[in-house]
Amino acid sequence: MQEAAAPAGLDQQRSRLVDHFKRAYQIIVGLAITLACTRLVPDGVPSVAVFSDTSFWLFCTFFITVVPIFHGGDRSLDIKYLGAAPKGFWGQAGYVWDVYMLLITAILFVKIAQSIPVPQAPSGGGLLALAPPSRPDMFYRWMAVMLFFDAWILLADSFKSDLRGGQGLTEQVGAYVPWIVLNIAFGLVCWFAQSPPGFFASLSALAISILVFACAFARTVLDYVFGRRFMFP
């Protein structure tokens, strides 16, 4: 008769627990990306006219912004909880807090994806006919909300690091400070993009969406520049 397998060590159990919550986070983020794709191409292969629609640039903004935030959230659980078990009540409460914050962030990704307007049908005939601009206001609003929320999470996490015994504190704070600044800055760009101020009044909705994408691209590049030690073990 075979002997029963020995129970897994605490490190392995903790690793599995972290993986379970990361998997839930990954599933919701995957749902958001899938939803964004279906919003951009609801009827199959898009025409060339999609490049003249704000929906395409909003999708690009969404996609390029989600990846580093997802990457950072996923890595944060590894850095904070794989090396050592949460200590005491506050350490365990901090773990539960982090899981909820990641899931709420992922849900906000879904809301952003839902707010990508479906590309409008081109006016007139022909493959290169231009589509009337989509209304991107709700997209900008939800994107700004997500960025401000993420900045608040990073700020709160910086303060509660002491309650976890300072696990990974140097790496975290080194990445958190520029991330907070980048999120707030890009969040303000999105917030004002939904209701352009006077100096943006001359820009079309399409031009604003391209400008927002350029800001998102710059934010992602800087995200990885400042957080490369945190992101890549």
pLDDT tens string 94-127:
788 888 999 999 999 999 999 998 876 655 544 4
Q: Output the average pLDDT for the chain.
A: 80
User: What pLDDT, on the 0 to 100 scale, is given for residue 1?
Assistant: 43
- In sequence order, the 6+-apart residues with CB closer than 8 A to the CB of 94 are 80, 86, 160, 163, 164
User: What pLDDT, on the 0 to 100 scale, is given for residue 209?
Assistant: 92
- Split at pLDDT 50, 70, 90, the class of 130 is very low
- Split at pLDDT 50, 70, 90, the class of 3 is very low
Break the chain into its structural domains and give their ranges: 10-231
> Cβ distance 187 to 154 under 8 Å?
no
What's this model's pTM, rounded to 2 decimal places? 0.81
Amino acid identity for residue 179 in this structure: W
- Residue 2, both tokens: 């075979």
